[in-house]
């Protein structure tokens, strides 16, 4: 049963308040317990719209949006769960709980793919913690007011942004540093404003981030992107929020400036586009002159089914959105709970594409956001008698690698690039070497970095 009531005022819930939601009483005791225990490690936040409109409480245990937003006991190994359960529910020892939580989070690879060691740029010798510069043409900006979301995804690769791991956070309190950095880097053409979710900010605060980018001195910035999941978790942001019209007027101003504006809409399941308010949000964004590009990771328990992607992409397309990336779940957080083998991910991607006529080849996937760059799984082939994954850099730290294909031995269980071995008897992939400028990655290999932007 999905409730038909649509709240128009945003109402969030956290571990401390979720028991106030009427749906909490419908949950079995063991599911309630898991939320109370695991949410000490993984950030938990949901809202009334998600509870009322996106979760089917008649089959809640298998519901994709429940799995996506509510912590589950299987997100921790059994031993860790039992240890934490004992501390949280029985010993009630805050110091011991905090220590256990720190240990668990530290082993969860809080910043995969060199986010801290290689992506934080410097200006005049100062590390700019609110920016990431991994690919030459693109800078990511993390406004401090955007370090939350309308609800949190349990698979989130940005989870340290929402917990008390301040040393791990990327955030900028103002856009001055961004502007100064961009002035000094004419090679940058794209700015991605991200978080958390920048659309938790009022339109006026978002305007303070965006409008300086329209200045003539930053004419080299051609494209502004905003990463957001509000299109799914709180589409009222574009429809009924008190400043939703102001937000759309801001989009119009950017479009009128001649720069391209893309809302990178994070969608995880077809149900997120079935409601009228979610569909209205898409129409309003597109009518403002912004593009709405759809993207999301392929995750077990949530969307590991071609029919879900096919419905999501075709509904989005009919409304004017552009289906974009299907990502492979990253190697962070509760990855064991959500990961899908690359071979299966590729099969799901192909089947979904084949089910959506006229997809116009615009979708990309499945792709891994790795230390060296974004690697797409192009296909599974047999070459010279060897079964292989055909892989390709869609983006790379080294521009010369973009578009370059390479091959890995087929492994039906592999879920990430670190689990793959080069094909044809080679000892290393072409981008791996003992280059002195390289950086060790978790599997012990060394990846050369063309533009090392290391912290001191
Ligand atoms: S909306 Fe994005 S940033 Fe926020 S919790 Fe989900 S995946 Fe993470």
Per-residue pLDDT at 449: 28
Tell me if 385 is assigned to some domain: yes
Same domain, residue pair 60 and 190? no
Tell me if 130 is assigned to some domain: yes
Q: Which CATH number does the domain housing residue 158 bear?
A: 3.20.20.70
Q: What are the angstrom distances between the C-alpha of 52 and each of 56, 69, 275, 278? A: 8, 13, 11, 14
- Average pLDDT over the chain, rounded to whole? 89
Q: If pLDDT is split at 50, 70 and 90, which confidence band does 5 have?
A: low
Tell me if 254 is assigned to some domain: yes
Per-residue pLDDT at 451: 26
Per-residue pLDDT at 108: 86
Question: Is the pLDDT reported for residue 165 higher than 60?
Answer: no
Query: How far apart, in whole angstroms, are the C-alpha atoms of residue 434 and residue 453?
Result: 18
Tell me if 452 is assigned to some domain: no
What's the mean pLDDT in 206-234? 97
Mutational test site, ligand 1, from 49, 160, 196, 200, max ligand atoms within 8 Å of CB: 196
Question: Is the pLDDT reported for residue 65 higher than 70?
Answer: yes
The string of DSSP letters for 228-286 reads ESHHHH-GGGGTTSTTHHHHHHHHHHHHHTT-EEEEEEE---GGGGSSHHHHHHHHHHH
Query: Which ligand 1 atom minimizes the distance to the CA of 159?
Result: 8
Q: What are the b/e assignments for 54-73, b being 16+ CB within 10 Å? A: bbebeebeebbbbbbbbbbb
| 399-448 tens-digit pLDDT | 999 999 999 999 999 999 999 999 999 999 999 874 433 333 333 333 33
Same domain, residue pair 270 and 224? yes
Coil, strand or helix at 325: strand
Same domain, residue pair 383 and 352? yes
Question: Which residue did the predictor score with more confidence, 112 or 115?
Answer: 112
| 354-375 tens-digit pLDDT | 999 877 567 988 999 999 999 9
Question: Is the pLDDT reported for residue 384 higher than 70?
Answer: yes
Query: How far apart, in whole angstroms, are the C-alpha atoms of residue 104 and residue 110?
Result: 10
Pocket residues: Cβ below 6 A from ligand 1 = 149, 152-153, 156, 158, 195-197, 229, 266
Where a domain ends, among 107, 138, 161? 107
Mutational test site, ligand 1, from 71, 155, 197, 327, max ligand atoms within 8 Å of CB: 197
Question: Is the pLDDT reported for residue 45 higher than 80?
Answer: yes
Output the residue whose Cα is nearest ligand 1's atom 5: 152
Cα 407 to ligand 1 centroid, rounded to whole Å? 32
Where a domain ends, among 62, 80, 107? 107
Tell me if 391 is assigned to some domain: yes
Same domain, residue pair 192 and 49? no
Tell me if 112 is assigned to some domain: no
87, with CB counted inside 10 A (0-12, 13-18, 19+), is buried
Per-residue pLDDT at 450: 27
Question: Is the pLDDT reported for residue 164 higher than 70?
Answer: no
Same domain, residue pair 65 and 145? no
Task: Yes or no: say if 110 and 159 are a contact pair by the CB < 8 Å rule.
Answer: yes
Same domain, residue pair 212 and 342? yes
Its domain, for residue 22, covers: 12-107
Per-residue pLDDT at 444: 32
Same domain, residue pair 25 and 172? no
Cα 161 to ligand 1 centroid, rounded to whole Å? 10
What's the mean pLDDT in 310-329? 95
Cα 343 to ligand 1 centroid, rounded to whole Å? 25
pTM, entire model: 0.89
123, with CB counted inside 10 A (0-12, 13-18, 19+), is middle
Same domain, residue pair 407 and 323? yes
Per-residue pLDDT at 306: 97
Same domain, residue pair 350 and 259? yes
Output the residue whose Cα is nearest ligand 1's atom 1: 229
Same domain, residue pair 94 and 128? no
431-438, Cβ contacts within 8 angstroms, sequence gap of 24 or more:
431/372, 431/393, 431/396, 431/398, 431/401, 431/406
Q: If pLDDT is split at 50, 70 and 90, which confidence band does 173 have?
A: low
Q: If pLDDT is split at 50, 70 and 90, which confidence band does 149 have?
A: very high
Where a domain ends, among 77, 107, 137? 107
What's the mean pLDDT in 54-65? 96
Cα 153 to ligand 1 centroid, rounded to whole Å? 5
Question: Is the pLDDT reported for residue 97 higher than 90?
Answer: yes
Task: Yes or no: say if 373 and 448 are a contact pair by the CB < 8 Å rule.
Answer: no
Cα 91 to ligand 1 centroid, rounded to whole Å? 32
Domain count of the fold of the chain: 2
Tell me if 456 is assigned to some domain: no
Task: Yes or no: say if 133 and 453 are a contact pair by the CB < 8 Å rule.
Answer: yes
Q: If pLDDT is split at 50, 70 and 90, which confidence band does 343 have?
A: very high
Strands (E), 23-142: 45-47, 122-123, 126-127, 131-132, 138-141
What's the mean pLDDT in 114-136? 83
Peptide bond before residue 185 is cis, with ω within 30 degrees of 0 = no
Mutational test site, ligand 1, from 39, 108, 112, 152, max ligand atoms within 8 Å of CB: 152
Tell me if 212 is assigned to some domain: yes
Task: Yes or no: say if 292 and 230 are a contact pair by the CB < 8 Å rule.
Answer: no
Same domain, residue pair 92 and 154? no
Task: Yes or no: say if 378 and 392 are a contact pair by the CB < 8 Å rule.
Answer: yes
Same domain, residue pair 141 and 57? no
């Amino acid at each position: 049963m999905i409730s038909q009531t649509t709240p128009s005022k945003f109402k969030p819930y956290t571990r401390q308040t979720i028991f106030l939601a009427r749906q909490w009483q419908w949950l079995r005791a063991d599911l309630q317990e898991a939320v109370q225990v695991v949410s000490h490690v993984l950030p938990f936040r949901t809202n009334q719209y998600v509870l009322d409109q996106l979760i089917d409480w008649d089959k809640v245990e298998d519901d994709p949006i429940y799995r996506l937003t509510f912590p589950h006991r299987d997100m921790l190994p059994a031993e860790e769960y039992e240890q934490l359960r004992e501390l949280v529910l029985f010993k009630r020892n805050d110091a011991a709980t905090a220590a256990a939580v720190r240990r668990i989070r530290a082993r969860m690879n809080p910043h995969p793919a060199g986010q801290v060691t290689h992506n934080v740029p410097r200006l005049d010798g100062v590390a700019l913690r609110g920016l990431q510069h991994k690919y030459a043409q693109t800078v990511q900006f993390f406004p401090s007011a955007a370090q939350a979301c309308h609800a949190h995804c349990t698979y989130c690769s940005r989870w340290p942004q929402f917990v008390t791991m301040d040393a791990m956070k990327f955030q900028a309190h103002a856009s001055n540093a961004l502007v100064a950095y961009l002035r000094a880097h004419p090679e940058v053409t794209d700015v991605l404003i991200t978080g958390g979710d920048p659309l938790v900010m009022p339109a006026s605060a978002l305007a303070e981030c965006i409008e300086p980018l329209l200045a003539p001195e930053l004419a080299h910035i051609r494209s502004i992107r905003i990463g957001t999941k509000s299109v799914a978790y709180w589409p009222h942001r574009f429809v009924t929020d008190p400043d939703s019209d102001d937000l759309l007027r801001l989009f119009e101003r950017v479009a009128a400036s001649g720069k391209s504006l893309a809302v990178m809409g994070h969608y995880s399941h077809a149900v997120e586009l079935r409601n009228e308010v979610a569909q209205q949000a898409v129409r309003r964004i597109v009518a403002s002159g912004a593009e709405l590009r759809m993207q999301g990771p392929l995750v077990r328990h949530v969307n590991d089914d071609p029919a879900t992607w096919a419905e999501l992409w075709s509904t989005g397309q009919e409304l004017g959105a552009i289906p974009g990336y299907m990502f492979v779940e990253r190697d962070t957080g509760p990855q064991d709970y959500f990961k899908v083998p690359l071979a299966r991910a590729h099969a799901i991607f192909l089947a979904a594409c084949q089910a959506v006529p006229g997809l116009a080849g615009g979708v990309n996937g499945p792709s891994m956001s790795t230390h060296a760059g974004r690697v797409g799984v192009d296909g599974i082939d047999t070459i010279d008698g060897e079964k292989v994954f055909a892989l390709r850099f869609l983006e790379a730290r080294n521009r010369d690698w973009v578009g370059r294909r390479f091959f890995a031995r087929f492994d039906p269980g592999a879920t990430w690039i670190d689990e793959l071995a080069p094909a044809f008897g080679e000892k290393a992939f072409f981008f791996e070497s003992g280059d002195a400028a390289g950086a060790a990655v978790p599997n012990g290999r060394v990846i050369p970095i063309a533009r090392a932007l290391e912290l001191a």
